[in-house]
A and B are shown apart, each in its own frame.
Chain A
Amino acid sequence: MLVINLGLYSDGEELFDFLLQTINEYFYIEGNVVNGYLIAYLALNTLWVHIPILIIIVTAYIFSGEFELGTIRLLLTQPISRSNFLIAKIISMIIYNFCFMLVIAVSAIVPSVLLFGTGDVVVFIDGIQFIQEATFLSRFFNSVMFATLAMIAFSCMTMYFALVFKNTLTAILLALGILILFTLLQTFVIGIFSSWQPYLFTYHIAQWQLFFINEIPLNDIFNSVYYLTGMALFFIIISIVKFNKMNISE
């Protein structure tokens, strides 16, 4: 993030001119719209495809790593229940997700603000959205919280794969395969394909952007929160059931 910011700071003028070209044709803009807030938003926008990949690599290892090392047998022969063991792992996974997203958020906003200052933000989501400077930070914080929930839901799915296959690489590849497939399906927004969208988790993961619409569509956001919470709970429950019945013979 810091490198991106320094790059933009030293040689970003051309890029900003390009980005603002359309707006400048239709609007008279006063003040600094190329500011730290905009860059933080753009940075998040760029990274939201990469963040899930970084999340699942660690998540998969949290669960299948014990199988690969063989330490699962060491731990499960101690006087702790399997459910408690898995819940402890899930809690550590959730903490990791929070910490990771916190680091991403802080590293997105702090250097940007320090280098470029603050101001109103203009973004393109369902048309042009003008975000007032005063509301940006709360929108940014809420979107990061939402994205954290989305990442937890995605991590829960990866956890299930890691438990079933007991192999980190398989779990990562499967989770990534599903992420790519669903993202592709999501891009077809015509005819029958558009009716699939609300059922794809990738559609709900991307809903963090709704916080940057002028009138925040709370209904849509809550629908996605319910979907992602339900998805996380579903995978947690089936993982606990699966783990409690699993023979650890090798």
Chain B
Amino acid sequence: MCILKVEDLSLDYGKQEVLMAISFSIKKGQIIGLLGPNGAGKSSIIKILAGLVFPKSGKLFFEGNLKPSFSELRNHCGFLIDSPAFYPFLSAKQNLQLIRKINKSDVNLDQLLHKVGLPYVNSKKVKNFSTGMKQRLAIAQAILRNPDILILDEPFSGLDPNGFQDLIFLLKALNKKGTTIIVSSHLLHELEQFADTFILLHKGKIAMNMTKNELLKSKKKVAFTFEEAPSKQVMNYLNTLGVVFDNPTLAILLIDPNEIATVVNNLVALKGTPINVETLTLLQEKYLEITA
């Protein structure tokens, strides 16, 4: 079931076009990785969905129903906007009490703080928090009312490795309970393990919208390293596959992952056994391929 659908979303700041008629849809329970270089429009999409920025044009459908404005989504989503800010002179719990009151929620704040790894902050003022602690608090406010969709902009920034693992664990647990998650991040390797669909933005357009399975099935770059420059026979064979040599002993091929074993077998048969076969990270490869 499609929980969220965006059509022809455009945004500009004066003459600068930020988003150019982009469309995408998200199914309930998906974890979407939103990728792209700086200035690609990731944060702008999130700010539009949060109702902070008004688009030039675009339609929003939530659970199949056309919504009059993007700000309607606030009733169904929890947001973590980049560089979260809180009232510095209040404690974490006092900040959350305010958010809880606005949301008319009765969530147990001690449990919530425990869930995000801030169980012992007590009366400590937020102004004395580290960046990582603020990030955890921001996650707490985003999940406070069990939203249908959780939209997070750079949620991993400022988190230490433990915090990072805790957050992945928490998000996976929420996703298991049915929460749809959209995560914008630069950490491609981590996203690749965590998300099940990837939307890559580049210059205000969607350059790639692919599920993890589609990504796995797509051709990928494989680097074959030889001990010495390959023989003429091996070279001829590799040329038929469209090889590119980085140096005389390093051949890079763009091939279907299922064909790797066949290629290696053929090279062995031609007495050109590679000493190393390395597959480049899928998402990183796609990212660099599109944004380069």
Could you list which residues of chain A lie within 8 angstroms of chain B, going by C-beta atoms?
69-71, 73-82, 245, 247-249
Of A80, A245, A249, the contact of B52 (CB 8 Å cutoff)? A249
B-chain residues with CB within 8 Å of residue A248 when the two chains form the complex: 47, 52-53
Q: Are A73 and B81 in contact (CB-based, < 8 A)?
A: yes
B-chain residues with CB within 8 Å of residue A78 when the two chains form the complex: 74, 99, 102-103
Q: Are B87 and A77 in contact (CB-based, < 8 A)?
A: no
- Within 86-103 of B, Cβ neighbours of A (below 8 Å) are at 86-88, 99, 102-103
Given contacts A75-B102, A78-B99, A248-B52, 15 further A-B contacts (CB under 8 A): A69-B85, A69-B87, A69-B88, A70-B84, A74-B86, A74-B99, A74-B141, A76-B52, A77-B50, A79-B75, A79-B102, A247-B53, A248-B47, A249-B13, A249-B53
Of A71, A81, A82, the contact of B85 (CB 8 Å cutoff)? A71
Closest to B81 in A: A73
Q: How far is the CB of A89 from chain B (nearest CB, A)?
A: 13
Q: How far is the CB of B209 from chain A (nearest CB, A)?
A: 25
Of B81, B83, B86, the contact of A77 (CB 8 Å cutoff)? B81
Count contacts on B: residues with CB < 8 A to the other chain: 23
What is the predominant secondary structure among interface residues of chain B facing chain A? Answer: loop
| B79 touches A (CB below 8 Å) | yes
| B54 touches A (CB below 8 Å) | yes
Q: Are B50 and A247 in contact (CB-based, < 8 A)?
A: no
B-chain residues with CB within 8 Å of residue A81 when the two chains form the complex: 71
| B58 touches A (CB below 8 Å) | no
Closest to A85 in B: B102
B-chain residues with CB within 8 Å of residue A70 when the two chains form the complex: 83-85
A-chain residues with CB within 8 Å of residue B103 when the two chains form the complex: 78-79
In whole angstroms, how far apart are the Cα atoms of A74 and B88 in the complex? Answer: 13
What 0/1 pattern do residues 48 to 82 of B give for CB contact below 8 A with A?
A: 00111110000000000000000100110001010
Q: Are B102 and A245 in contact (CB-based, < 8 A)?
A: no
Q: Quick one: given A79-B74, A79-B75, are A73 and B54 in contact (CB under 8 Å)?
A: no
Q: Are B87 and A80 in contact (CB-based, < 8 A)?
A: no
Q: Are A245 and B87 in contact (CB-based, < 8 A)?
A: no
Q: How far is the CB of A69 from chain B (nearest CB, A)?
A: 6
In whole angstroms, how far apart are the Cα atoms of A67 and B53 in the complex? Answer: 14
A-chain residues with CB within 8 Å of residue B51 when the two chains form the complex: 76-77
A-chain residues with CB within 8 Å of residue B47 when the two chains form the complex: 248-249
